[in-house]
Each structure stands twice: as structure tokens, then as C-alpha cells.
Structure 1
């Protein structure tokens, strides 16, 4: 399975041949540099390590400087591994959005927006306690009863309650590639993808 590292630019829309306005996400896909070729003999599995987005040398550790120098490239911010693309790709080669074609389907992995500590209505979609009569004047967005009594005399693990929301790794499956702009290293995929503008994403074919 091939792939690329990219960056979410934002959302826009394009018109289809039938005249429908289709919402889509713009992703800067590459160019990525092959910084390591992993083999079964040496590493126990096959994969390509790709690197994306330039980084200052002063902000890079010495081991990573040596790692990038071996590939003949400048320091990069984001590293990721993908199963081998195929034959003929060597250390130091550049992979760009030309590996993705218009009309094919991809998966996009990103980190969802962090929303901090949230209540049960926002986090889990609870309806809240409801009415404001019979003493329920200030509990519209509260969780209500937790269901535990003399047995088991505790709150069970996994109970949906308030807590930190977002900031999780999310994979959006089967997104159609509407357009590829190789001169700008951009691809447009149908619909939305996880993450904020400027966040890194992994595009898997």
C-alpha cells in the first residue's frame, strides 16, 4: 500500500460535470523524500520511511541530522512509514502527488481537533436531563443518573462521562480524489478529513 505525507490546507468546493457543487478538502501532498528503506533481512519487515516539510538544522537532534544526511536531504519535520510502493524506489528518491490519480479512492489519517474538557452533551451527544419543572431548574446539560446502587456500589469502567475530547488519531475511509494539481503538489479529496488547518495527515492508497 503506497502513501504520502501531507498537510491539510483547508476546504473548498468544485463543480462536477453534472453541475453539482461538491465540498472537498485541499491537501498539500508531498513532495516526500525516502529517508529509509526497510527490508525483511535487516528490519524484519518491508517499508519505506518518508519525510516531509523542511525543518531548521538548529532544531534537529544530531542523530536525526545524521539520518537525513545519509539520505542526502535537509532535516524534515514529519516522518512516517508506508508498506513498500514497488520496485525501483531507493534511498533519497522523491515521491510526490503523481503517485495518486484522479478518481481513485484513498484513506486519510489525521489528528482530530482537540476540544479540551467537555460535558456529556458535547462529548457523547446526551440530551441532558430535560425539563425545567419539578425542581429541574439548573440541570439541562447534566448526565443524570449513573445507574449504580447498593450493587455494584461503584461506577463501572467505560461509563460515558465528561472528559477530554478530541486530539485522537482518526482515519477517514474511502475518500474520492476529485482533482490532482501536480504543479502545486495539491490534491482535492471529496468531503472532510480530521484535523485543523495546517495539521499533518497521512494519505494511504
Structure 2
């Protein structure tokens, strides 16, 4: 199982190699960190809690600081459930390089809020007649039940709050992955407004965890680069550098 958190940037279009145009949604996904691992034996559920969008530590309360001890101060925490245990541990980090072009993913977001709307816009009612004495009920809902029942049945389609609901879309294709910019290009439209949170997942494959080299495995060269200790004998000394840079006749004059 693979998953990642991201925010919606907006829509654009990309060109395939054969010249066809593909409408895509650009998503700023990751990097993410594993904040907690829940198992069926201990927590009665197999899930991974993922953190996203690092922020300053002072914005976290004491409970959040304790939960994220020795981890980045992430702003967003979400859980992904799985049928089996995922081979991840607390502190693992991963990026968009986990995904590849051509994969089909499930995208979950929250639709745009429309506020309080009537039945014509919310439920696509046709409305009443426009003439013959129906001047006031063009967009009215009409009857909401029989008189003998003396109550309104549950689930009756009426006016109310529209939008701002969780929406999931399956089988969306990943067209392109941009690891340098942490961006996924997903075919088609995804729910939500620009900047809204998106949960991207697929039941197939495994997450590629970033491997950080420990201080024992690398040592600084003095030039801002890290070289494994196993190759430190290959690093030229200062005396060797001076000897290589010296002119050809310098030793002959001495």
C-alpha cells in the first residue's frame, strides 16, 4: 500500500509523447513523516498516521509536542488504514518518488462549500410552471409529504447546506512525477478548492523510505560534501594538492 498527503495547486495540461493533450491537476505532495504506527494486536486496527506541512514548534501545544517528540513539527496529521501491517516505523520519511507515472490512485478531498442552497441547485429540481398563475413558486420544492401521515419522512430532499463534504474519486491516473518540486500531475479533476488537503493512496506497491546516512558512515571533507568513510583513503591531502598544483620546474630549481 502506498499513500501520501498533499495540497491542491490547480489544473493545467500536459502533452504526451504522441502529441495528445491531457488535462491534469497539479498536487504539492509530501514530504511526509510517519508519526505513529497502529497495529491490530495493540490498537485493534492497522493504520499509519502521517504528518505533513512542517511548521514552527511554538505553534504546537504541549500534547502535540509530546506526540511529535524527535519528529518534525508537522501541522497536519491523517491516518491511512490497511488490511495488513505496513513495513513502516515511526520517523520514516517519504516523498513523491514513491509513485510512478501510469499508476492508478484514489484521491480523497473535501468539496467546495456552497452555503445554504435551494432544491433547484442542490437537488436539480425542475421547478414549477412559469405561467398560469404560478408567479411565486418557480423555484419552490412543492409538496413534502401526504397530509394523512402528518410528518415528513427522513431523507426528504429539501433546501439546506450544500458542499463541504468528503469526496473520493477512484482510478485517477498519475501522468507525471516531479520529485525536485514535490509535485504530482494527476489526470482529470480532483475534489476541493485550491490549497485544500488531499489524501492520495493506492493498495498496490510499497513506499520508498528515504535513507539518511548516519554520522558514523560519513565524514565531512571540508568542502561541504559528505564522503563515505570507506573511501576516505582516496581523499587527497593538502600536501598532495600543493604538489599537483605546483609548476613543472619548481622541484628542479630546488
| Shared fold, TM over 0.5 | yes
Structure 1: state its 5+ residue gaps: none
Partner of 2:97: 98
Q: Residue in 2 aligned with 1:201? A: 198
Q: Return the match for 1:145 from 143, 147, 150.
A: 143
Residue 158 of structure 1, aligned match among 152, 155, 159: 155
Larger Rg: 2
In the alignment, the residues of structure 2 paired with residue 163 and residue 14 of structure 1 have an alpha-carbon distance, to the nearest angstrom, of: 39
Using the TM superposition, give the Cα deviation of residue 85 of structure 1 relative to its aligned residue in structure 2, in angstroms. 7.4
| Between 37-46 and 159-168, the greater mean CA deviation after superposition | 37-46
Determine which of 168, 171, 188 is the counterpart of 2:168: 171
The CA RMSD measured in Å over matched residues stands at 1.6
Q: Which has the higher strand share?
A: 1
Give 1:52's aligned residue: 52
Q: Report the CA distance between 1:32 and its aligned residue.
A: 0.2
Q: How has the CA–CA distance of structure 1 residues 59 and 130 changed in structure 2, closer, same or farther, with 3 Å as cutoff?
A: farther
- What is the TM-score normalised by the length of structure 2? 0.74
Residue pair 1:52, 1:78 contacting (<8 A) in 2 also:
yes
In 2, the alpha carbon distance for the partners of 1:141 and 1:20 equals: 43
Tell whether the 8 Å contact from 1:2 to 1:85 is kept in structure 2 after alignment.
no
Residue 63 of structure 1 aligns to a residue whose secondary structure is helix
The number of equivalent residue pairs is 200
Cα distance in 2, alignment partners of residues 31 and 13 from structure 1: 24
Q: Distance in 1 between matches of 2:86 and 2:98?
A: 11
| CA deviation map 1:147-203 (0-9, x unaligned) | 422x21222111100000111111011101111111111101111111111011100
Can you give the 5+ residue segments of structure 2 that lack an aligned partner in the other structure? 203-254
More relative contact order, 1 or 2 (CA 8 Å, 6+ apart): 1
Describe the SS at the equivalent of 1:3: strand
Q: Cα offset for 1:34?
A: 0.9
Q: TM-score, normalising length from structure 1?
A: 0.91
